[in-house]
Structure 1
Amino acid sequence: MAAGTTPPGMLRPVVHPADADGRTRERVLELVAGAGPVSAADLAATLGLTPAAVRRHLALLEDDDLVAVHDAGHPTGMRGRPARRYVATSAGQGELSGTYADLATEALRFLRDVAGPDAVERFAQERLAELGERYAARLDADDVEGRAAQLAAALADDGYAASVRPVPGTSAVQLCQGHCPVQHVAEEFPQLCEAEAQVFARLLGSHVQRLATLAGGGHACTTNIPLRPSPPTPDRY
């Protein structure tokens, strides 16, 4: 039988163009959430599509308020029109977050109403402490920069679309998380974000500073990490 032919008695699977377009658009949204701010040309190179095809998907995502153009200003000394770069909106992040956010939010509201706000904070700290213990085994680099890269890899494996970027002219890096599974819960309960930052500081051995969060309206959760380690603390994992 010639390669590519369908065996007798079997139907050739049909892929409708609309279905293929939907899957591609979903992939574009995932990449924008993980790598944004990102240009159509960069997305096209990653997906193996033409920039025109990617711009068509971006336009539809923008119409649905799932992505937005990121305004970073015009670089000094650059001529011409700067390339448009895209980030995922809060609605776009919600599209990727699954359907359990409402249930989780209701559960935390019940905990707050029954046991008080302190109970929510304790829950957040215990939940993130378990995460920290799991990640601690993967962070064995000798310096802060190496541990930050390992932490980003661990977070990426768990679906946080995480990466580490150097901060030019400083002795610091930024840990960026383009997706957060609990974003919409954290919008009402920022204790989750605060506890996460505390865990990052203990894991990395460096005082970290949260610059932006998805829950707070940022296009990514951005954590500044000085590369000079902080003195060790007794509660380090």
Structure 2
Amino acid sequence: MNQPKESSTRERILQMMKTSGPLSTKEITLELGITEMAVRRHLGTMERDGLIESKMIRQTLGRPTSVYGLTELAENLFPKKYHTLTLDLLGELEQEYGAESIERLFERRKDKLNRQYQSDMQGKNLAQKVQRLAEIQNDNGYMTECEQRGDDHFVLMEHNCPISQIANRYNHACECELRLFESLLDARVERTECLAQEGRKCVYVIKR
């Protein structure tokens, strides 16, 4: 029953650290007006969840004190509209140099990723390549899962698309991803569902 209140308290602590920087337990206690024991309990949970980290700072007088600050994971909880800026810049580029310039950018990105990950695929069979590709996409935020339907038949599903707002406007980004997969896997790849085209996820059917 206390979960919503506890979540609200932790959200306030995150907001305080975002606006004021690293804080000590005493500073948080004074600001929130709750017991130090309650604050320590919240901090322990947040540190366990990877949202905050502690460090010791030296003071002019007395012993070093421990302060808590946000981790990169917590920073990502705050609103960021990188895609808005990216879309604005791409729009300006398209207006100045035409749609072909945008397509060239996506092609160059595809070629760069192909060079970056090609060595990961060396010496692997198709199943191992698909598994490695799933790991790469997971690391990049695509929330990927993979199913094997036969000896040389796989289905790769992406439940999230970090560049969905861009792909919604510039479908060439999706085309480049498809061809990147074909190159890395050295296999036939067919996209049967796409988040940028009102799908629930991106689905790739992979066959030798």
Q: Give TM-score, length-normalised by structure 1.
A: 0.54
Shift of residue 207, structure 1, vs aligned partner: 1.9
Q: Is 1:110 equivalent to 2:87 in the alignment?
A: no
Shift of residue 158, structure 1, vs aligned partner: 1.7
Aligned to 1:92: none
Shift of residue 176, structure 1, vs aligned partner: 1.1
Give the secondary-structure state (helix, strand or coil) at the position aligned to 1:126. Answer: helix
How far apart in 1 are the matches of 2:161 and 2:108?
18
> Counterpart of 2:95 in structure 1: which amino acid?
D
Shift of residue 141, structure 1, vs aligned partner: 4.5
How far apart in 2 are the matches of 1:193 and 1:127?
12
Tell me if the contact between 1:97 and 1:182 (Cα under 8 Å) persists in the aligned partners. Answer: no
Tell me if the contact between 1:174 and 1:224 (Cα under 8 Å) persists in the aligned partners. Answer: yes
How far apart in 2 are the matches of 1:206 and 1:138?
16
Relative to its length, the structure with more strand (as a share) is 2
Shift of residue 140, structure 1, vs aligned partner: 3.0
Q: Is 1:163 equivalent to 2:163 in the alignment?
A: no
Instruction: Please point out which of 174, 187, 203 is paired with 1:206.
Output: 187
Contiguous gaps of at least 5 residues in structure 1: 1-8, 24-94, 229-237
> After superposition, what is the alpha-carbon deviation per residue over 1:188-235, rounded to whole angstroms, capped at 9, x for unaligned?
101111011111101100121111111111121111110x2xxxxxxx
Shift of residue 171, structure 1, vs aligned partner: 4.1
Identity of aligned residues (%): 23
- Cα RMSD after superposing both structures: 2.9
Contiguous gaps of at least 5 residues in structure 2: 1-25, 30-35, 50-76
Larger Rg: 2
Q: Decide whether aligned partners of structure 1 residues 101 and 177 sit closer, same or farther in structure 2, where only a CA change above 3 A counts.
A: same
Give the secondary-structure state (helix, strand or coil) at the position aligned to 2:120. Answer: coil
Q: Give TM-score, length-normalised by structure 2.
A: 0.61
Q: Decide whether aligned partners of structure 1 residues 132 and 116 sit closer, same or farther in structure 2, where only a CA change above 3 A counts.
A: same
User: Map of 1:131-142 to 2, 5 A cutoff?
Assistant: 131-142=113-124
Give the secondary-structure state (helix, strand or coil) at the position aligned to 1:215. Answer: helix
Moved more, 135-144 or 110-119: 135-144
Relative to its length, the structure with more helix (as a share) is 2
Tell me if the contact between 1:101 and 1:184 (Cα under 8 Å) persists in the aligned partners. Answer: yes
